[in-house]
């Protein structure tokens, strides 16, 4: 992994554990186990650190979406891929989801961060739309935007939602299957 990637991963970890207020170059260097000043050499400003987090999270999401082999195999494969994504962000990659939520909140006060998140989200939705198009879904761009928003909502509800609906993996699968069925209607 390149040094920039190591630092971006460390910044994501800091966001997840300390929030945006805790995101400092010093905290990133300590989390990465690198000499003080390393992150500020690669990312001169705090805004550059935030941008690195957005870019890293988006690249990871797009890569994982492409790696699923696409849902061209059918709706069941799309449900499987969506469930695998949800289980990953609620399990081993929970810190990445929390970091993305932190970035989303911060973007309401920083227009440049909002623009970066919108662009990153467009990359993810485009990858999902390609898979939906392969299924023959009418208006795959709209369906992808809606599907991603619903999956994000399910993840948010499990991690930070006011109701924190207690759902086990089977319950989450039923919810995902219902959501996917709603958006994967073939024309």
CATH code of the domain in which 77 resides: 1.10.357.10
pLDDT at 12: 98
89 falls within a domain: yes
Q: How many domains does the chain have?
A: 1
45 falls within a domain: no
11 falls within a domain: no
79 falls within a domain: yes
pLDDT at 6: 97
Cα gap 76→156, rounded to integer Å: 23
Q: What is the DSSP letter of 126?
A: H
73 falls within a domain: yes
pLDDT at 5: 96
- 34 close to 14: Cβ distance less than 8 angstroms: no
pLDDT at 20: 93
Mean pLDDT, consecutive 10-residue stretches, the chain (187 aa), reads 95 97 97 97 95 92 70 76 89 95 94 92 90 87 91 89 75 87 67
7 falls within a domain: no
Residue partners of 99: CB distance under 8 A and separation at least 6: 12, 13, 15, 16, 53, 57
pLDDT at 135: 84
Angle (CA) 90-92-97 rounded to 5° is 50
pLDDT at 30: 98
Determine if the pTM surpasses 0.75: yes
**What count of residues does the chain have?**
187
Strand partners, 137: 186
pLDDT at 71: 47
22 falls within a domain: no
pLDDT at 131: 83
12 falls within a domain: no
Stated as kind and residue range, the H or E segment containing 69 is none
Stated as kind and residue range, the H or E segment containing 14 is helix 3-18
Cα gap 116→131, rounded to integer Å: 24
Name the residue range of residue 99's domain.
53-183
């Amino acid at each position: 992994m390149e040094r920039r990637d190591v630092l971006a991963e460390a910044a994501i970890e800091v966001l997840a554990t300390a929030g945006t207020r805790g995101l400092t170059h010093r905290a990133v260097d300590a989390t990465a186990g690198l000499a003080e000043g390393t992150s500020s050499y690669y990312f001169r400003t705090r805004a550059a650190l935030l941008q690195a987090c957005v870019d890293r999270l988006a690249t990871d999401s797009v890569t994982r979406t492409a790696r699923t082999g696409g849902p061209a195999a059918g709706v069941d494969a799309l449900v499987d891929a969506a469930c695998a994504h949800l289980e990953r962000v609620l399990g081993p990659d929970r810190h990445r989801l929390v970091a993305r939520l932190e970035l989303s909140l911060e973007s309401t006060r920083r227009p440049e961060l909002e623009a970066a998140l919108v662009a990153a989200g467009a990359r993810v939705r485009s990858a999902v739309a390609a898979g939906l198009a392969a299924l023959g879904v009418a208006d795959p761009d709209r369906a992808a935007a809606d599907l991603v928003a619903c999956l994000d909502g399910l993840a948010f509800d499990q991690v930070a939602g006011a109701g924190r609906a207690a759902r086990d993996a089977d319950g989450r699968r039923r919810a995902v299957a219902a959501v996917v069925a709603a958006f994967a209607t073939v024309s």
